Structure 1
């Protein structure tokens, strides 16, 4: 069995110095902050007073299991001795670590803070703090009322106006708070080839946050790397695979984007079918949309492997299924992750757009971040003229596992 990776000087220093009431490890992905924070947590579990609960909190129970419990049970990360002391049954809301019962709490929305009411805690570990609602975090700190109680947490950077940055990290001098900023270079165990591959998966806003570890605001064009001269093509190579993304609309535009994987190992937005009911003053039914899309694909002589549909368009999915259209799937509609997938594909040169996709080419330059959302510390695009962009996002992000390995092979 391989020995656990050695700790860097910054990791060791953060563990030694974590004596504040609030202790936060923040910075880029894979920079070593989680390993250091979890080792510190294990040490504090062994020393925690008998009075007061021990908590692990995250976006959901599933993310707590995946991001915290499973790594602690991995002997290659923490050693066999530690792994044997972490006991948990999947789906259970408690674990046992070094003989202490540890409560696992998911906090997906503001209502989750009610789960903390009445608790008295001595130690809490928080995974990805910026993804939790602020009321939950405030209530959690209030529950840490045992003398010497401590909170340990990790996060990747977000907007510099995020409540964690403005309300806590920027006020470290006036609060009982210690924080450590990590970058990829702070993890010496990463192979150069892995760092290059990881860096290629991020671009623009996400590269600055997830690779550089910077707290930067989302502003301007969402796809600021889009260059018509570079990304728009007049001819397509032979395609070996096809997928379809559909953003459903009745009064709003309906858009279908055909995504192809060419023999040159690039992705292509190869064709677009679009119906704007307001522009032509004629709405279409689900059955009419189904016939139109299937006729369009037949004209192109294309049978996509999967058709990824706007998750809210249940009736249209049912209509396609009834009409015998194969490979129907709910699109992965995680907006920010989907935007990141499209941005990475564009930035690396992996994704090209055929000039016939007129609606998509009209929308891309005007797809911008919301200034109003940014002022609240949120990342959100303006919800306007985004139907073909959404269809592209559905197809690209829902197939990410099929093409992500190609990122480092394109320029």
Structure 2
């Protein structure tokens, strides 16, 4: 049995991106932990980043048992570009890193790019202290309003007042 074009069109309107690929096309797409279903690799992943940015900043999520991630982000007008990503999952690698090692990793990660700010959750106090002791004075406590942050990224991915791209 096959679906009529009318039914298929209704499903196309009901599902988008990863859910369309999974439920309608029957492709095995990973959706576990998916927050931004409007992310579209064809739209949001670009081959070439701008040569210059109006400002550069970094953000991080620090974990000992959970993964640690840093993003280096450039802003040009209302658009944001993920320049680089650092990701380390201690469970996957079978060993944890010390706070000092994460600081070394962060310094290597940013390279010659000097962000205006590094936003980290205030609960990452040991990492923040160690970064400051190593001369990284631009560390700031992030706003822990998760829903507002998810909404901001959703708006950027939906092209509402700016756009978000990854290189």
TM range (shorter): 0.7 to 0.9
Question: Higher relative contact order at CA 8 Å, sep ≥6: structure 1 or structure 2?
Answer: 2
Alpha-carbon distance in 2 for matches of 1:292, 1:307: 14
Give the equivalent residue in structure 2 for 1:241: 55
How many residues were matched structurally?
132
Give secondary structure in 2 for the equivalent of 1:233: coil
Give secondary structure in 1 for the equivalent of 2:64: coil
Query: Which of 231, 248, 251 is the matching residue for 2:65?
Result: 251
Alpha-carbon distance in 2 for matches of 1:243, 1:221: 24
Which structure shows the higher helix fraction? 1
1:306 aligns to 2:117 (yes or no): yes
What is the deviation of 1:310?
A: 1.7
With the length of structure 2 as denominator, give the TM-score of the two structures. 0.74
Unaligned runs of 5+ in 1: 1-219, 355-411
Unaligned runs of 5+ in 2: 1-32
What is the deviation of 1:265?
A: 4.4
Query: Which of 144, 148, 156 is the matching residue for 1:333?
Result: 144
Query: Which of 126, 130, 153 is the matching residue for 1:315?
Result: 126
Give secondary structure in 2 for the equivalent of 1:225: coil
With the length of structure 1 as denominator, give the TM-score of the two structures. 0.31
Bigger Cα Rg: 1
- Map residues 222-233 of structure 1 onto 2, 5 A cutoff: 222-233=35-46
Alpha-carbon distance in 2 for matches of 1:229, 1:269: 15
- Map residues 27-42 of structure 1 onto 2, 5 A cutoff: none
List structure 1 segments (4+ residues) > 2 angstroms apart after TM superposition.
Answer: none
Alpha-carbon distance in 1 for matches of 2:126, 2:44: 35
